[in-house]
């Protein structure tokens, strides 16, 4: 279980990005949503160790990991799929899956994972993860790496960002399947109703704070009803 | 041949036993062994140091290995190797030079390779340079490659110099005739105080001629690299040159493109990118459980693969 205690994050000029975030992540599928600029991605990066909070604690299974590096957190069981996947000249899809799995991955194992994210394995396993891949393909490879790791906490930062609707429809199936098969917790930052719809718990983050949290049945109807979490006062009902 | 020499041979030419097909192994400035075949002749030059490699027209699926190894400190070796590739031949040539310098004097090898590819012939040329040594002596290599491609000929060069060469000036000059193609993939890595200069000059003289010159390099520590790539489009042709470099530590990399179009239908492109390893690449691999050093190593190895 992951617990965030009083997490604050300030940048220069005292601008506060996150303010006193307290969250317990023990459900199997948690969706974090809320307006752009609200601090969702920052929170995900704080959990993965990419950003250090100004104050507060991050507890994983009872251990304080606030001071631990990205590598140590990865080895402690945290995976993080970037919103904008990174390209690597020269490294192939199989290379990345091997690094993700932490052991030599056979072609058939790599193919199995690629099929799970809807990529025709034969066409991709030896491809370089470079600029020749489309945004949708990169997203799938990014998700495949998380599957290859199979850790107890998997974080996805807006898996729908930058991909077309058609690709997204099939990605939903990937998450539905992952939910059925994954034994750990999945934390997804998303604006998509179809993703929110399969979450056990929804957390709304707006203006750097937890604006609302609870079971999907409690939170989703109000989210769908209006614009109450808009950052723009003029839009608020 | 001792074990050091055998290891060098394995590294530069992938030769573990007696190679199949034609070969000429040169060790410490002298001929070590040679084999010729019905279609591939190797002849020692009489006027200067070096060999002529003569490949008969129509030769298919044969290979020639011509590695050079140096394990004596203070030896400077200069050779002229001329390749005559007959019409319609299709062969692989594996060259390479390995130096193991455990003394305190400079060892060097300057190979001047000239390729004459006759009409419609096809060659894949693989060249690997490495250096080792636990002494203070420097390892120096200055390869020059001169290429003449007749009508419809195709030459693909894969060259790599990954470690241990203190100073190198690599020069490649090519003339490309009608519908002939030149493809070059160069990989370089320098470290310590090393210097690597690489200079390409390609004349696209023929109708439909083309060249693709791609260099990938990594410069570490205090090393310096200079990449110069000139393509002259003298006819209706296509030329592309690319320099892609990762810079680390206090290294310096210079990339100089020089494209000259002397014909209205010449299409020439140059791309150059020099930069350190992107922070997000390191972070991505660290989120997979690698340390920063391991991530860096994976990125560099992948880049030069």
Whole-number Cα distances in Å, A23 to A32, A56, B49: 11, 12, 77
- Strand B154-163 to B139-141 pairing: unpaired
Question: How confident is the model over A9-40, as pLDDT tens digits?
Answer: 998 877 889 999 999 998 889 999 999 889 99
In a domain, B141, yes or no: yes
Note whether B263 and B236 are within 8 A (CB). yes
Statement: residue B284 has pLDDT above 60? yes
**For A14, phi and psi rounded to 5 degrees?**
60, 25
The domain that holds A216 is classified in CATH as 3.40.50.300
Among A172-181, A213-222, B51-60, B207-216, which is the least confidently predicted range? A172-181
User: What pTM was computed for the model?
Assistant: 0.85
Q: Which residues contact A224 (CB under 8 A, 6 or more apart)?
A: A193
Question: How confident is the model over B137-193, as pLDDT tens digits?
Answer: 788 888 899 999 999 999 999 999 887 888 889 999 999 999 999 999 999 999 999
Question: Which residue in B284, B290, B292 is closest to A86 by CB distance?
Answer: B284
Kindly list the residues from chain B whose CB atom is less than 8 angstroms away from the CB atom of residue A71.
286, 289-292
Q: How far A80 CA lies from chain B's nearest CA (Å)?
A: 7
Question: Which residue in A74, A82, A90 is closest to B305 by CB distance?
Answer: A90
Kindly list the residues from chain A whose CB atom is less than 8 angstroms away from the CB atom of residue B288.
74, 96, 99-100, 102, 145, 149
Kindly list the residues from chain A whose CB atom is less than 8 angstroms away from the CB atom of residue B289.
71, 74-75, 99, 102, 149
Determine the structural domain holding residue B59 and report its residue range: 1-165
Helix (H, G, I), strand (E, B) or coil at B193: coil
Alpha-carbon dihedral angle through residues B15, B20, B21, B22, given to the nearest 10 degrees: 30
Q: How far apart are the first and last CA of chain B?
A: 30
Question: Which residue in B283, B286, B288 is closest to A145 by CB distance?
Answer: B288
**For B179, phi and psi rounded to 5 degrees?**
55, 15
pLDDT at A237: 41
Q: Which residues pair with B115 in a beta bridge?
A: B83, B147
Q: What is the mean pLDDT of residues B43-53?
A: 94
Note whether B254 and B227 are within 8 A (CB). yes
* Alpha-carbon gap, residue B91 to B87, rounded angstroms: 11
Kindly list the residues from chain B whose CB atom is less than 8 angstroms away from the CB atom of residue A91.
298-299, 302
pLDDT at A235: 47
Q: Which residues pair with A213 in a beta bridge?
A: A203
In a domain, B27, yes or no: yes
pLDDT under 70: residue ranges of chain A: 226-237
Would an 8 Å CB–CB cutoff place A224 in contact with chain B?
no
Which of A224, A192, A191 lies closest to A205 in space, CA to CA? A191
Query: In chain A, what's the furthest Cα-to-Cα distance?
Result: 56
A10-26 CB burial, b ≥16 within 10 A, e <16: eeeeeeebbeebebebe
Note whether B77 and B70 are within 8 A (CB). yes
Q: Which residues of chain B are at the A interface, by a Cβ-Cβ cutoff of 8 Å?
A: 216, 244, 278, 280-281, 283-292, 298-299, 301-305
Statement: residue B247 has pLDDT above 60? yes
Percent of chain B with pLDDT over 70: 98
Burial of A106 (0-12, 13-18, 19+ CB in 10 A): exposed
Sign of the CA dihedral running A116, A120, A122, A125: negative
Determine the structural domain holding residue A148 and report its residue range: 2-235
In a domain, B59, yes or no: yes
Please provide the DSSP assignment of chain A as one string.
-EEEEEEEEEEGGGEEEEEEEEEEE-SSEEEEE--TTSSHHHHHHHHHTSS--SEEEEEETTEE-TT--HHHHHHHTEEEE-SSPPP-SS-BHHHHHHHHHTSPPPHHHHHHHHHHTT--HHHHTT-BSSTTS-HHHHHHHHHHHHHHH--SEEEEE-TTTTS-HHHHHHHHHHHHHHHHH--SEEEEE---HHHHTT-SEEEEEETTEEEEEEEHHHHHHHHHH--TT-S-GGG--
| More confident: A198 or B134 | A198
Q: How far A145 CA lies from chain B's nearest CA (Å)?
A: 8
Q: Does A149 sit within 8 Å of B305, measured CB to CB?
A: no
* Alpha-carbon gap, residue A137 to B299, rounded angstroms: 20
pLDDT at A106: 85
Would an 8 Å CB–CB cutoff place A229 in contact with chain B?
no
pLDDT at A229: 56
Residue B283 tokens read as 């972070």
* Alpha-carbon gap, residue B57 to B39, rounded angstroms: 8
pLDDT at A236: 47
Number of separate domains in chain B: 1
Kindly list the residues from chain A whose CB atom is less than 8 angstroms away from the CB atom of residue B216.
89-90
Number of separate domains in chain A: 1
In whole numbers, what is the pLDDT of chain B averaged over residues? 92
Kindly list the residues from chain A whose CB atom is less than 8 angstroms away from the CB atom of residue B304.
90
Q: Does B286 sit within 8 Å of A82, measured CB to CB?
A: no
* Alpha-carbon gap, residue B64 to B40, rounded angstroms: 8
- Enumerate residues 48 to 107 of chain A having a beta carbon within 8 A of any beta carbon in chain B: 48, 50, 69-71, 74-75, 78-80, 82, 85-86, 88-92, 95-96, 99-100, 102
Would an 8 Å CB–CB cutoff place A127 in contact with chain B?
no
* Alpha-carbon gap, residue A3 to A58, rounded angstroms: 6
């Amino acid at each position: 279980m992951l617990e965030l205690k009083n997490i604050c994050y300030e940048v220069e000029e005292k601008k506060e990005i996150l303010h006193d975030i307290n969250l317990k992540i023990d459900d199997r599928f948690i969706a974090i949503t809320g307006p752009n600029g609200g601090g969702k991605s920052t929170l995900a990066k704080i959990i993965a160790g990419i950003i250090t909070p100004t104050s507060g604690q991050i507890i994983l299974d009872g251990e304080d990991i606030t001071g631990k590096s990205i590598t140590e957190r990865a080895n402690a069981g945290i995976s993080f799929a970037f919103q904008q996947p990174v390209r690597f000249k020269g490294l192939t899809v199989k290379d990345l899956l091997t690094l993700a799995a932490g052991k030599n991955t056979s072609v058939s194992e790599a193919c199995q994972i690629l099929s799970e994210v809807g990529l025709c394995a034969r066409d991709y396993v030896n491809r370089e993860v470079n600029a020749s891949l489309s945004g949708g393909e990169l997203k799938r490879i990014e998700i495949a790496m998380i599957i290859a790791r199979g850790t107890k906490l998997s974080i996805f930062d807006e898996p729908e960002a930058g991909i077309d609707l058609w690709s997204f429809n099939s990605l939903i199936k990937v998450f539905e399947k992952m939910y059925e098969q994954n034994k750990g917790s999945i934390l997804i930052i998303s604006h998509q109703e179809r993703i929110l719809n399969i979450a056990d718990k929804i957390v709304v983050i707006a203006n750097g704070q937890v604006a609302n949290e609870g079971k999907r049945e409690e939170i989703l109807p109000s989210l769908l009803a209006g614009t109450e979490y808009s950052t723009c006062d003029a839009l608020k009902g | 041949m001792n074990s050091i020499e055998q290891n060098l041979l394995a590294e530069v030419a992938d030769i573990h036993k007696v190679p199949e097909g034609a070969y000429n192994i040169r060790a410490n400035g002298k001929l070590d062994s040679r084999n010729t075949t019905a279609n591939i002749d190797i002849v020692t030059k009489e006027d200067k140091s070096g060999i002529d490699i003569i490949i008969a027209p129509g030769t298919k699926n044969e290979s020639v290995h011509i590695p050079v190894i140096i394990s004596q400190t203070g030896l400077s070796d200069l050779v002229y190797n001329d390749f005559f590739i007959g019409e319609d031949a299709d062969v692989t040539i594996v060259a390479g030079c390995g130096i193991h310098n455990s003394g305190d004097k400079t060892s060097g090898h300057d190979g001047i390779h000239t390729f004459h590819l006759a009409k419609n012939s096809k060659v894949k040329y693989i060249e690997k340079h490495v250096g080792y040594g636990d002494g203070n002596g420097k390892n120096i290599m200055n390869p020059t490659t001169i290429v003449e491609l007749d009508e419809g000929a195709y030459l693909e060069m894969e060259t790599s110099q990954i470690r241990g060469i203190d100073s190198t000036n690599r020069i490649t000059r090519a003339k490309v005739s009608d519908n002939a193609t030149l493809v070059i993939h160069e990989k370089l890595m320098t470290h310590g105080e090393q210097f690597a200069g690489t200079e390409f000059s390609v004349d696209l003289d023929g109708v439909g001629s083309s060249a693709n010159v791609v260099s990938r390099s990594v410069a570490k520590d205090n090393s310096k690299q200079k990449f110069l790539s000139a393509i002259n489009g003298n006819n209706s042709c296509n030329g592309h040159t690319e320099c892609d470099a990762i810079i680390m530590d206090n290294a310096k990399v210079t990339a100089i493109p020089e494209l000259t179009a002397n014909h209205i239908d010449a299409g020439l492109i140059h791309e150059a990118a020099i930069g350190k390893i992107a922070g997000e690449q390191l972070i991505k691999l660290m989120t997979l459980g690698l340390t920063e050093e391991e991530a860096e190593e994976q990125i560099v190895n992948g880049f030069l693969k």
